[in-house]
Amino acid sequence: MKRNPFLITTVGLFAAVLLAAQSSVPEIAYDSTPNLLKLPEHLYLGEAAGVATNSKGNIFVYTRTGSTLASEGGSRTFTRGGARLFEFAPNGNYMREIGQGLYGFLFAHVVRIDPQDNIWVVDEGANMVIKFDPEGRVLMTLGRKPESVNVPAREGGGEGGGGGRGGAPGAGAPGDNFNRPTDVAWDAAGNIFVSDGYGNSRVAKFDKNGRFLKSWGSKGNGPGQFDLLHTIAVDAQGNVYVGDRNNKRIQVFDNNGTFKTQYTNVGAPYGICISSGAHQYLYTSNSNPSTSMENGEIYKMELDGKVLGKFGKAGKMLKEFGTVHEIDCRNPNEVFVGELTNWRVQKITLHP
Amino acid sequence: MKRPFSFLWCCLAGVCVSGAIALAQSADLTPAQLNARAKAQNVPEIPFDSAPNFLKMPPNLYLGEGIGVATNSKGHIFVYTRSQQTRLFEFDQKGTFVREIGDGLYGFLFAHAVRVDPQDNIWAVDEGSNMVIKFNPAGRVEMLLGRRPEAVEGLLATPAPNAPAPPAQPYLFNRPTDVAWDAAGNIFVSDGYGNSRVVKYDKNGRFITSAGTKGSAPGQLNLPHSIATDAKGNVYVGDRSNRRIQVFDNDLTFKAIYDNVGAPWALCITPGPHQYLYSSNSNPDNNNSEIAAVTGEIYKMELDGTIVGKFGQAGKQLGRFSTVHEIDCRNENELLVSEITAWRVQKLTLRPQAKNGGSK
């Protein structure tokens, strides 16, 4: 077969454009505060899956720590433990633990703070979204923790076993229950959006009272389909941004789930965040998987997808990132990141 | 032709009595004992003492299996133990309890080794969580290697016996066993029960290279259980199930094999201008008394493999060893050994002069 010079030139040109696009993203200068979080004696963070700040600047960390314990029951096996929620003052001083021994704390995924300073936790193991008021009392729960685990099967299910687990894997099944949910966001009216998740492949929308309204999405790579929707954010207009991690794209939907657009040039979105204020920015982390030291940079974008700059890379030192799992960007130039593999939260001060 | 010479040599060294006994007994050994005992015989004995009741535990605190022991530059002692939970304790040089480090830590599941680096950072190797955890001297987590599997994936099925391990990955371990560093701070991890390799990282935890596959050829490994580096950066690996120590250069190129000191459960290289290598041919942790009768001794060697002497034997009483799992040899003649089956750490004072007339 003869070579097609036109094709080769086109491919070469395309590659060159791609390279140029990547290398032309300006670097944003930044610092990281050393030893930010001051933990009391005998208290340790595990994987810092979730980090968020409230309106006072207090820092909430939802961490995978200790061990999930399986207890032998009469005829079933029950699990508990493995995740904890801590609150710190803006200067990093430890304040308190919230939800100690909580039924729904099994495997931390994220924590988010809503505009009223309520604290929302998404637990991937318990299949629950839990809303605490600012004092730390449980106000509302979404989903239900499976009653027990089947041993040795790795999937939930069985009578009275995986009863709280919603949806067959990847079916995009609608309904009130989750299958390894990942994140939560709200619009100005208080509607709740849950990315769900590892097991299911859909966004679920609830009203502010937790009544299921609708869901959209199924497993796949077409518009409106998902392959591990890992993170979610809503802008001031109520548009919904979904980090479609394994498809390496951010998908944007209107408030009712109609597909609007997608951004495919910023890697695999492990954590996304939309800043508050009149001019909103979108941050997304192309985190390194825990198996590699590739990628790791965080992008700052306009909501329309224009990339403004990037910062950071994978690593274990200060200012480097170990699988960033959640970003807090209440202040667009003072960003908090929770890292899985470094068991750490960093406060990043940007100098754009 | 060799035996008369070595017999004569050991008589001159003043240990012909024990040598003669060893020779007389070898005819009575079972095949399993002949296989398990070290090839080196007629090795001079180094006299030693063990300090009674060395570690003083506070009330209601107990050691479990004595898995890891190490000292820092101040002489403080760190013990990594398989208790109800895996725990890390610090004692002062007199054995008085100082504190616990890492209570309830996410990476503490099943202790394997603790080592203290030249900057007094404390490194724990956890075989259960598949992690290597670096604490700074204050006891705060400073760096992590490897990652504990996610609990949300459900209970892991026990691998079938002799099932091949999945391919090794640069940043994940499969039941790692030990850690060491060279002068530049590069990190060497023996990995381990699941994988059969040694991994080299730079001081910031970036993967550089790895060496080893499962097998018995030179450079292959079958349960790399212990690791140590010398001042030149050579890497010594206790290749336990192959019953040999393998030496690699700093880039993990194979250099040499020492196969005459039994199964190297625990290795330690002393600091200072003249470095020695200690290796424990520990008695099995299954309490097999047939094998324990011919194992349990610790060898003192030159780095080139020349055996200087040996001491100890299997047993449960003070001064005997119950499956030594880690050796600390910061002080050449003041060793700490942790024992699996005796739930104990012993402080040993070696008196090599006593037998050798003061010669070094």
B261-300 tens-digit pLDDT: 999 999 999 999 999 999 999 999 988 999 999 999 999 9
B11 band by pLDDT with thresholds 50, 70 and 90: very low
Ranges of each domain in chain A: 26-351
Q: Which CATH number does A26-351 carry?
A: 2.120.10.30
A74 band by pLDDT with thresholds 50, 70 and 90: confident
Q: Which helix H or strand E contains A148, and what residues bound it?
A: none
What pLDDT does residue A70 have?
84
B231 band by pLDDT with thresholds 50, 70 and 90: very high
Across the interface, of B106, B152, B172, the residue whose CB is closest to A65 is B106
Q: Tell whether the model's pLDDT for residue B187 goes beyond 80.
A: yes
What pLDDT does residue A168 have?
57
What pLDDT does residue B153 have?
78
**Cα distance between residue B281 and residue B309, in whole Å:** 13
Q: Tell whether the model's pLDDT for residue B6 goes beyond 60.
A: no
Which positions in chain B touch A42 (Cβ < 8 Å)?
100, 103
Residues paired with A253 in a beta bridge: A240, A259
What pLDDT does residue B163 have?
83
What pLDDT does residue B14 have?
39
In-domain check, residue B194: yes
Locate tokens 């929707």: which residue? A229
Which positions in chain B touch A125 (Cβ < 8 Å)?
151-152
B355 band by pLDDT with thresholds 50, 70 and 90: low
Residues paired with A61 in a beta bridge: A51, A86
Across the interface, of B144, B150, B153, the residue whose CB is closest to A342 is B144
What pLDDT does residue B257 have?
98
Of the candidate ranges A153-167, A223-237, A241-255, B52-66, the one whose mean pLDDT is the lowest: A153-167
Strands A94-98, A108-113: parallel, antiparallel or unpaired by DSSP?
Answer: unpaired
A167 band by pLDDT with thresholds 50, 70 and 90: low
Q: Tell whether the model's pLDDT for residue B13 goes beyond 80.
A: no
Q: Tell whether the model's pLDDT for residue A156 goes beyond 50.
A: no
Q: What b-and-e string marks burial along A283-305, b requiring 16 or more CB atoms within 10 Å of the CB? A: bbbbbbbbeebebbbbbbbebee
CA distance B197 to chain A (A): 17
Tokens of A182: 């990942």
Q: pLDDT per residue over A56-73, tens digit each?
A: 999 999 999 988 888 888
Of the candidate ranges A81-90, A145-154, A273-282, the one whose mean pLDDT is the lowest: A145-154
Tokens of B11: 């008589």
Q: What percent of chain A has pLDDT over 70?
A: 88
Mean pLDDT value of segment B196-207: 98
CA distance A164 to chain B (A): 15
Mean pLDDT value of segment B64-85: 96
Q: What b-and-e string marks burial along B135-153, b requiring 16 or more CB atoms within 10 Å of the CB? A: bebebebbbbbbbbebbbe
Mean pLDDT value of segment B177-198: 97
Higher per-residue confidence, A224 vs B7:
A224
CA-nearest residue of chain B to A83?
B106
Q: Minimal CA–CA distance to A271: which of A325, A220, A225, A312?
A: A325
Contact B334, B272 (CB under 8 A): no
**Cα distance between residue A303 and residue A235, in whole Å:** 8
In-domain check, residue B165: no
Q: Minimal CA–CA distance to A177: which of A136, A220, A149, A147?
A: A147
Q: pLDDT per residue over A290-300, tens digit each?
A: 999 999 999 99
- Chain-centroid distance of CA B34 in Å reads 23
What pLDDT does residue B354 have?
67
Cα–Cα distances (Å) from A99 to A66, A104, B205, in that order, read 15, 9, 34
In-domain check, residue B38: no
- Chain-centroid distance of CA A50 in Å reads 7
- At residue A102, φ and ψ (nearest 5 deg) are -60, 140
Count of structural domains within chain B: 1
What pLDDT does residue A148 have?
85
Q: Minimal CA–CA distance to B104: which of A148, A125, A41, A108?
A: A41
pTM score: 0.88
Q: Which residue of A341, A342, A345 to mutate against B (max B Cβ within 10 Å)?
A: A341
Helix axes B16-26, B2-12, angle to 10 degrees: 150
**Cα distance between residue B114 and residue B65, in whole Å:** 13
Mean pLDDT value of segment A35-45: 96
What's chain B's average pLDDT?
A: 91
Locate tokens 């240990």: which residue? B15
Higher per-residue confidence, B41 vs B2:
B41
CA-nearest residue of chain B to A149?
B154
Starting from the edge strand earliest in sequence, which strands make up the sheet with B111-116, in order?
B111-116, B122-126, B131-135, B141-145
Residue B74: which domain range?
48-146+170-356
CA distance B355 to chain A (A): 48
Which positions in chain B touch A67 (Cβ < 8 Å)?
106, 109, 151
B159 band by pLDDT with thresholds 50, 70 and 90: confident
| ipTM value for the complex | 0.84
B58: exposed, middle or buried (Cβ count in 10 Å: 0-12, 13-18, 19+): exposed
**Cα distance between residue A96 and residue A92, in whole Å:** 12
**Cα distance between residue B330 and residue B327, in whole Å:** 9
Residues A197, A202, A205, A210: is their CA dihedral positive or negative?
Answer: negative
Residues paired with B100 in a beta bridge: B89
What pLDDT does residue B104 have?
93
Q: Tell whether the model's pLDDT for residue A162 goes beyond 60.
A: no
What pLDDT does residue A166 have?
61
Q: Tell whether the model's pLDDT for residue B66 goes beyond 80.
A: yes
Q: pLDDT per residue over A171-228, tens digit each?
A: 778 888 999 999 999 999 999 999 999 999 999 999 999 999 999 999 999 999 999 9
Which residues fall within 8 angstroms of residue A19, CB to CB, at 6 or more apart? Answer: none
What pLDDT does residue A253 have?
98
Cα–Cα distances (Å) from B89 to A54, B95, B178, in that order, read 37, 11, 18
Locate tokens 């040899």: which residue? B329
A170 band by pLDDT with thresholds 50, 70 and 90: low
Contact A307, A301 (CB under 8 A): yes
In-domain check, residue B22: no
Mean pLDDT value of segment B174-193: 97
Q: What percent of chain A has pLDDT over 90?
A: 80
A23: exposed, middle or buried (Cβ count in 10 Å: 0-12, 13-18, 19+): exposed
Q: What percent of chain B has pLDDT over 90?
A: 84
What is the CATH number for B84?
2.120.10.30
DSSP string, B114-148: EEE-TT--EEEEETTTTEEEEEPTTS-EEEEES-P
**Cα distance between residue A311 and residue A202, in whole Å:** 30
Q: Which residue of B135, B150, B153 to mutate against A (max A Cβ within 10 Å)?
A: B150
Mean pLDDT value of segment A8-32: 64
Contact A283, A272 (CB under 8 A): yes
Q: Tell whether the model's pLDDT for residue A161 goes beyond 90.
A: no
